Structure 1
């Protein structure tokens, strides 16, 4: 065949499968013309056109496969249009990929990334960091990150190092400030960014909790790491906690006089500092306990703070104020693994004392528990009473705070020395219906 086709002459439907298979083969083998390709079950038109291009007698009708070497096809294409096979394919369909080279480059990049992860001081000192890096390598996250945005991994490592370096800091850092410090972009750690996803995934391993799936879970993880995404969303619920200080101190004292629960935001605590002079302040994990204390005891209840699950930065700020004023925190939470982990953290961070959190209390709760609740998750030690963790593991059951609230309410009814002498116990009534809200507040392990 003479070289009179022109490029357009080889782009008809009869050649589509031939050249598509040629592109796939050359991309797969890195441009090696020494391989062969096939067109299966060609139509009569395909059979006629392909043999016309390649030269030689046409195969018989009904043939199951036409096979041709890429080198022979290259020569015939060059003779027909003056371009080699690769040049023709790139002219008509874009640059050919070199997949073997891409795989090698990806492997090199992955190894480089793993070296960067392992070079961090956290790799030596923090088991959670090593677990995070292994998880990324197993599920392909590392490969996807390198393909999409390689530098984000280095930034994530720097963020985690900064968080760990601030572990004992009294003052939290605002999320935009942390993002700007590491990346010069205050929005780089917003929840829809890859960097945020990667860091939160590591923090979930650090805190031994599932990956966050909601805004509230993301906030809790950031705050557990000493980072505040929103100082208005960081709140703590208190009951009967009088305080000194213009604004917030006055509001808290007023709420205490009427036995009214009060939500305090971190923004209020930052802009309207308070001083607290209460000798003993109880701490619970579940708002149902505080709600019951308010309903049954009113202003006759001892001062009570509720973490509402994982403690917020606002909670830590109030807890520090109590301790700074000479007070002692007494902590009670759920008898499950996350609950005792929170208890250990509050005791270690604020010198809190356990409040009905012994092995005997757990066993008493078991005897009064109506339904069995399986104990799940990773075991945590209970250094204030090692027998507690042993008993929990042995029985394999959880005891939630609400189910032992009767004893807690009885304790709260006995105000400590130095507290207000007038105890006005409210008539006992049923707890509020689900969904009832409290009054809004006024303007490396």
Structure 2
């Protein structure tokens, strides 16, 4: 009855009935059933007619109208899938809605009475990308609640899921391997796990913690007399690596004063440049994986940085994004460089979704054919030769 909205269609059955049950069914249906029958059936209409007050009253007077519920859920789901957004029609936004429909997320939200979260998520996404906006400010602007996008909240989970599709690359890329082989432990691994949400937010210009967003630099001389500029200049004068936070950049304008700036992905490259070249190294910025908001803000004032990353699919995405955002030029990121690195020893298999290399289409083709990654640490001697400058 719940399936049919209360319409008395179909029948119910009784297995291995007792003799009293058999006689009762005979009385209801008027049809003789022999002793020993293994199963008896009776139509709902006959049962309704035989029960004083009817079957519905016997069941307590109320039943769920499952057909109407299904129709209501379907209408609500279609309404959410048609949610208006300035991103409507983009592959990542369409993919976000389709995935939530396919895995039951929309249905669960509707049944919990939380369908409005999809509209709120669209409102948040409509304000992105932003320009270094604090997360509470974004939350208030989109929902009126500064805590709506707090860590682990249902709304934050929905938005991050969309940003994961919007953002090229893989936020979990930043691993403890890129930090240091010394002191690698479970605590560091835990910190790395926490980076993924922060990197997704930062990829859209949202800041969770402007002190936690940092960029590692070497020999970055600046113009201006602020305290942070003096720190950078002093570090450059001695060839000492310096970790610059987004908070410092927001408080004090940093204007690089270098003719050329290089960008690498792994700290091992910057460490080697500091140890072997010191003050003789060209200005070098290390992204430590996916570039942070601090990195993007710093490089926004640097014309055409020379940029490289690992020879893996995420590395290609990092460089492709840097070319679009910063006008970066590839630094030893061609097919010939990959082949040279591949010949130097064994390499780990390529993993993840393939990417393209528009600056050198042969590179992605060659990587796909070889199926191996080449980390940039293998190229350190060649990279140091590029970084060496006249004293």
* Interval containing the TM-score (normalised by the shorter chain): 0.7 to 0.9
Q: Distance in 2 between matches of 1:52 and 1:278?
A: 99
Aligned match for 1:391, one of 341, 344, 366: 366
| DSSP-derived class of the 1:27 partner | coil
CA RMSD of aligned residues (A): 3.1
Which residue of structure 1 lines up, in the alignment, with residue 328 of structure 2? 352
Question: 1:208 deviation in Å?
Answer: 4.3
Q: Deviations over 1:320-357 (max 9, x none)?
A: 2444xxxx522121122221221122233222222212
Map of 1:404 onto structure 2: 379
Map of 1:139 onto structure 2:
103
Structure 2 residue 49 is the aligned partner of structure 1 residue 85:
no
Unaligned 5+ runs, structure 2: 173-191
Corresponding residue of 2:125: 160
Contact 1:340 1:380 in 2 (8 A): yes
Partner of 2:188: none
Q: Which runs of 5+ in 1 are unaligned?
A: 1-25, 416-420, 422-445
Q: What is the match of residue 185 of structure 2?
A: none
Note if 1:414 corresponds to 2:389: yes
Identify the range of structure 1 (204-213 vs 397-406) with the bigger mean alpha-carbon deviation. Answer: 204-213
Is 1:230 matched with 2:209? yes
- With normalisation by structure 1, the TM-score equals 0.73
3-state SS, counterpart of residue 289 of structure 1: helix
8 Å CA contact retained: 1:245, 1:272: no
Shift of 1:193: 2.1
1:87-119 Cα offsets, whole Å, 9 max, x none, are 34236xxx5211111111122222222233xx5
Q: CA deviation at 1:397?
A: 3.0
| In structure 1, C-alpha distance between the alignment counterparts of 2:79 and 2:142, rounded to whole Å | 21
The change in CA–CA distance for 1:114 and 1:211 in structure 2 (over 3 A counts) is farther
Distance in 2 between residues matched to 1:249 and 1:74, nearest whole Å: 87
Cα drift, residue 375 of structure 1 = 5.8
1:7-406 equivalent positions in 2, closer than 5 A: 26-42=1-17, 47=21, 64-77=38-51, 79=52, 83-90=53-60, 95-116=62-83, 119-124=84-89, 126-148=90-112, 149-164=114-129, 166=130, 171-209=131-169, 214-243=193-222, 244-323=224-303, 329-371=305-347, 373-374=349-350, 376-383=352-359, 385-406=360-381
Contact 1:245/1:274 (<8 A) preserved: no
Q: Is the 8 A contact 2:29 2:46 kept in 1?
A: no
Give the superposition deviation at 1:245. 4.1
The separation in 1 between residues aligned to 2:325 and 2:221, in whole angstroms, is 23
Question: What is the DSSP-based 3-state SS (H/G/I as helix, E as strand, rest coil) of the residue aligned with 2:305?
Answer: strand
Q: CA deviation at 1:120?
A: 3.6
Give TM-score scaled by structure 2 length: 0.83
Q: Select the structure of larger CA radius of gyration.
A: 1
Q: What's the CA shift string for 1:139-197, capped at 9, x where partnerless?
A: 33333333331111222222223215x5xxxx322222112111111222223222222
